């Protein structure tokens, strides 16, 4: 007689194989009950020493799969303590970025009254760059860029991007409220920072002759913070405890 107290999702299945060392026995496999294996031996239910928990394993796998991997990030560009624009960083092959999957589309939009100063030290990057090969820039929306200056100039100043390590410059007086390019061999998912040359009233000077300054911003690392890891671990421990309690309280677990 089958005990249905385990619930409606427990389906018995005899495989006909005798339990090792016990004559006249048959093995009963309870499907849908967390992989619990029992044997009927002389009219008694005997739990096998080994318990498999495929449902729990599936829950853990799904939990890890649900941890997001960033494919795009929108960050504020700050200069002189003021937010002057926004930079959108999108991993190639996702969300409208047609670049290679190893590259990042960079799109900058400046707020009213400020522009990108496309002259001298223009833009800089730091974080997860030079992934697999040296990073460079291409598909520049306005003008051209070349590596430099050595040391980054103002792009590496405390108010811009002190952790940047890749710098690009150009010549000329151009300015623009929008600016875009593709940064090669980089990864948004593990964090990028940037610095940019800015012109506008925030930098000082009269309205008809604003000065230039340097701003920057950056993405948060995708590595979970200790607090998030603690919460995630607590959640997994709770799931394990729940399944273990249900198994041990089952009438089969004896």
Same domain, 172 and 78: yes
Would you call 237 exposed, middle or buried from its count of C-beta atoms within 10 A (0-12, 13-18, 19+)?
exposed
CB distance 53 to 34 below 8 Å = yes
Residues 6+ apart with CB under 8 A from 38: 28, 30, 45, 46, 47, 48, 252
Same domain, 152 and 199: yes
Question: Higher-confidence residue: 250 or 153?
Answer: 153
State the pTM of this model. Answer: 0.64
For residue 135, is pLDDT > 90?
Answer: yes
Number of domains in the chain: 2
225 domain-assigned:
no
16 domain-assigned:
yes
Same domain, 78 and 96: yes
CA distance 214 to 85: 12
23 domain-assigned:
yes
199 domain-assigned:
yes
Same domain, 204 and 137: yes
- Report residue 141 as tokens: 């929306």
Q: How far apart are the first and last CA of the chain?
A: 17
Q: Tell me, what's the pLDDT at 232?
A: 53
Tens digit of each residue's pLDDT (9 = 90 or more) over 46-99:
444 444 455 555 445 444 444 445 588 899 999 999 999 999 999 999 988 999
CA distance 184 to 206: 38
49 domain-assigned:
yes
CA distance 35 to 18: 19
Same domain, 91 and 17: no
Same domain, 200 and 87: yes
For residue 126, what are the domain limits? Answer: 72-218
Same domain, 45 and 78: no
208 domain-assigned:
yes
């Amino acid at each position: 007689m089958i005990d249905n107290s385990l619930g409606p999702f427990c389906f018995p299945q005899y495989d006909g194989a005798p339990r090792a060392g016990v004559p006249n026995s048959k093995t009963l496999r309870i499907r849908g009950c967390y992989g619990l294996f029992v044997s009927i031996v002389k009219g008694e239910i005997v739990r096998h020493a080994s318990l498999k928990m495929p449902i729990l394993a599936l829950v853990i796998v799904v939990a890890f799969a649900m941890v997001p991997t960033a494919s795009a990030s929108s960050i504020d560009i700050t200069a002189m303590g003021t937010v002057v624009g926004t930079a959108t960083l999108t991993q190639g092959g996702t969300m409208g970025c047609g670049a290679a999957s190893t590259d990042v589309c960079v799109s900058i939009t400046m707020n009213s009254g400020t522009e990108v100063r496309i002259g001298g030290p223009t833009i800089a990057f730091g974080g997860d760059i030079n992934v697999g090969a040296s990073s460079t820039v291409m598909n520049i929306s306005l003008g051209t860029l070349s590596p430099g200056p050595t040391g980054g100039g103002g792009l590496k100043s405390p108010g811009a991007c002190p952790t940047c390590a890749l710098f690009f410059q150009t010549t000329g007086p151009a300015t623009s409220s929008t600016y875009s390019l593709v940064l090669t061999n980089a990864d948004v998912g593990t964090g990028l920072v940037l610095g940019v040359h800015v012109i506008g009233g925030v930098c000082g000077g009269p309205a008809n002759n604003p000065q230039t300054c340097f701003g920057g911003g950056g993405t948060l690392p995708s590595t979970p913070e200790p607090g998030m890891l603690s919460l995630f671990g607590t959640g997994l421990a709770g799931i394990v405890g729940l399944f273990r309690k249900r198994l041990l309280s089952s009438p089969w677990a004896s």
